[in-house]
Amino acid sequence: MLGTPSRNRIAERREGVRREILDAAWSQARDVGLANITLRDIAREVGMQPPSLYSHFASKNAIYDAMYAEAWLTYEESAAALEPLPEHPRVAIAKIARGFFDFAVADLARHQLMNQRTIPGFEPSADAYAPAVRVLEQCRAMLAGCGVTDSADVDIWLALIGGLIDQQLANDPRGDRYSRLLERAIDMWADAIGVPKHSPAATKAARKR
């Protein structure tokens, strides 16, 4: 008697093709801009006719949707690596901010898809949006653990980091002009909402851990 196959090779091949399509879409987004990718160019890069793409993705927005989910899942994995956080609240908050800042500025197209409305008419599906919701909930929980529970304070913190990311990407994409301001900006925000101060020596020691 033949045993039951342990692998679904058709599904594996299909997933492999989807992976190629997404890789091609990311490549196009980085080369010509997120809003300028075309199904024709993606198909050419993966070696198929444009109509064949529709057997894997129903539309270009479906490709964007898969890219959006992938981007947030990647950040979700990156954010998990931040734990355990330093004990001092300010140092922990700065570490969370730095993690998101560095992730965002590493890839303009990915940041635009995740955090800006760059593509007219595109809205992520509920499934694709779920990782973003989880990340925000985790972020709020981390900040609450540092004593920051007011929603307005969290919103200002997010806007502060987002603004510095946008300035870095727009005005000094290959440098660190705004990156160098991140910790200073977080300290100013922390002063305003009363997060306990820390000594420079304690900060340096905590960041080495």
pLDDT digits (tens, 9 = 90+) for 68-99: 999 999 999 999 888 899 999 999 999 999 99
Amino acid 22: pLDDT? 97
Residues of the chain above pLDDT 90, percent: 84
Contacts of 72 (CB under 8 A, 6+ apart): 114, 128, 131, 132, 135
| Confidence category of residue 209, pLDDT binned at 50, 70, 90 | very low
- Give pTM, 2 decimals: 0.88
Q: Are 125 and 65 in contact (CB under 8 A)?
A: yes
| Confidence category of residue 3, pLDDT binned at 50, 70, 90 | low
- CA 208 to mean position of chain CA atoms: 25
What integer best gives the mean pLDDT of the chain?
91
Confidence check: pLDDT of 200 > 70: no
Amino acid 11: pLDDT? 73
Q: What is d(CA 1, CA 120) in angstroms, rounded to the nearest whole number?
A: 56
Q: Are 65 and 128 in contact (CB under 8 A)?
A: yes
| Mean pLDDT within 178-186 | 98
Q: Are 57 and 21 in contact (CB under 8 A)?
A: yes
Distance in Å from the first CA to the final CA of the chain: 58
- Taking the CB of residue 180, how many other CB atoms lie within 10 A of it? 12
Give 97-141 pLDDT, tens digit per residue. 999 999 999 999 999 999 999 999 999 999 999 999 999 999 999
| Confidence category of residue 10, pLDDT binned at 50, 70, 90 | confident
Amino acid 4: pLDDT? 55
Phi, psi (deg, nearest 5) at residue 161 = -65, -45
Confidence check: pLDDT of 203 > 50: no
Q: What is d(CA 160, CA 97) in angstroms, rounded to the nearest whole number?
A: 10
Closest C-alpha among 118, 76, 131, 119 to residue 99: 76
Q: Are 96 and 82 in contact (CB under 8 A)?
A: yes
